[in-house]
Amino acid sequence: MALVTFVLLRSRLPGLDDILLPMEDSPHIQPPPPPPPPPSTTVQARTQPDPAGQALEAPRILALMNQKGGVGKTTTAVNLAAAAAADGHRVLLVDMDPQSHATLHLGIDPQGLERSAYTELLDTESDPSQALCEIGNGLWLLPAETDLAAAESELTQAPERHHRLSRILGHLASRFDLVLIDCPPSLGLLTLNSLTAASEVLIPMQAHFLALQGVSKLFETVGLLTGSINPQLRILGVVLCMHDSQATHTQEVVADLEAFFDTQRGSGMPWENAVVFRPHIRRNIKLAESPSFGQSIFAYCPEAAGAKDYRALAAKLFATENTPPSKSDTTPVQKATEATPIPVVEVVSRSTQADSPAHPLEKTSHQSPAGQTG
């Protein structure tokens, strides 16, 4: 049996300084300014300045990210966006993954696009509203195409290269209440653009040991970004996908995740208010089938277990009722600096019995994931 625990180490992600430091033209990452009041878990209108001097309502922007692929990230992005739109919100889903899975999931052929996230990132003079695809029922998509992978190299020397997506969303601010960004499963300019534009990060993952490795790297990335170009960024929490609540290993991982988050309350870290969201998204074959029909789970099979889970999760994430603030709503958020310790995953043997397996994963399931994509 294995116990997954978090330890705090002053480790650095190899190569991350090469990406982040040029943004400040300084050999040191500067400490962030004092944090603003923490955002609520409900959808609230925010304002931003308009060139004409009028205040515009700004949408709530969530980046869905996990540096490990195949954990249900794209499935979660698409179906949370569809659920929020069905609940009356004006929603924009941004596909920042060159694999274009969110675009395909919603029935858009990336090969037939004249304009996409790729063209809008490169052309700072364009009108990004011309690249949007209307899915229906209040849901819009900024699609991706495979050429988006070239943006990593094409923007390397470009001015304001880390703020290209922020510019796009600034032009669209008054049109939407919510923006969900499907990030690529890697750390590069596309992901940094997404995290620069976002105010919150949602982490879809499986309750497996290997999935935690990517989460610890993500924490490090967010910690560095809050000390440089996006002091407001915070980790909202974890969504468990393809979940098997009966498996002992998953129960242990969930318990250890929740215990870790509990120890971070009041720590001043970007994840100090993070939670493991419920309901967990159950393993459901309908979630795997719906992309092949170009539909969300709600259009494809609205009575499936996956539809019920995502509908309930969206109701919690994007509630519009005036509910009392939770603990995570009232604790001030302080941002990490360059020297902030970052949580890293370590495995410690839980069992002391002689007949226990020597390898911590010996009793875990080796069944290949099914029921969700990306």
Q: Quick check: pTM over 0.85?
A: no
Torsion of CA 32, 34, 38, 43, to 10 degrees: -70
CA atoms within 13 A on the CB side of 104: 16
Whether 47 shows a pLDDT value over 90: the answer reads no
Q: How confident is the model at residue 46 (pLDDT cuts 50, 70, 90)?
A: very low
Portion of the chain with pLDDT greater than 90, in percent: 56
CATH superfamily name and code, 2-23+45-349: P-loop containing nucleotide triphosphate hydrolases (3.40.50.300)
Q: How far apart are the C-alpha atoms of 212 and 256, rounded to whole Å?
A: 11
State mean pLDDT over 291-302.
96
Q: What pLDDT is attached to residue 133?
A: 97
Residue whose tokens read 């992309």? 291
Q: How confident is the model at residue 58 (pLDDT cuts 50, 70, 90)?
A: confident
Tens digit of each residue's pLDDT (9 = 90 or more) over 64-107: 999 888 889 999 999 999 999 999 999 999 999 999 999 999 99
Inter-residue long-range contacts of 13-18, CB under 8 Å, 24+ positions, other chains counted: 13/187, 13/217, 13/220, 13/221, 13/224, 16/187, 16/220, 16/221, 16/224
Residue whose tokens read 């692929």? 69
Residue whose tokens read 């669209």? 172
Residue whose tokens read 């300014």? 33
Whether 13 shows a pLDDT value over 50: the answer reads no
Per the prediction, the chain carries an average pLDDT of 78
Whether 352 shows a pLDDT value over 90: the answer reads no
Whether 302 shows a pLDDT value over 50: the answer reads yes
Whether 347 shows a pLDDT value over 50: the answer reads no
Portion of the chain with pLDDT greater than 70, in percent: 70
State mean pLDDT over 190-210.
93
State mean pLDDT over 355-361.
35
Q: How far apart are the C-alpha atoms of 37 and 333, rounded to whole Å?
A: 7
Q: What pLDDT is attached to residue 322?
A: 36
Residue 255: count of CB within 10 angstroms of its CB = 14
Tens digit of each residue's pLDDT (9 = 90 or more) over 223-260: 999 988 999 999 999 999 999 988 888 999 899 899 99
Angle between the 164-171 and 189-197 helix axes, to the nearest 10 degrees?
Answer: 40
Q: What pLDDT is attached to residue 3?
A: 37
Tens digit of each residue's pLDDT (9 = 90 or more) over 245-254: 888 889 998 9
* Burial bucket for residue 221 (CB in 10 Å: 0-12, 13-18, 19+): buried
Q: How far apart are the C-alpha atoms of 130 and 127, rounded to whole Å?
A: 6
Whether 325 shows a pLDDT value over 50: the answer reads no
State mean pLDDT over 31-55.
43
Q: Tell me if 79 sits within 8 A of 305, measured CB to CB.
A: no
Whether 35 shows a pLDDT value over 60: the answer reads no
User: CA angle, corner 190, sides to 242 and 290, nearest 5?
Assistant: 35
More confident residue, 45 or 208: 208
Of 219, 209, 200, the C-alpha closest to 254 is 209
Q: How confident is the model at residue 307 (pLDDT cuts 50, 70, 90)?
A: very high
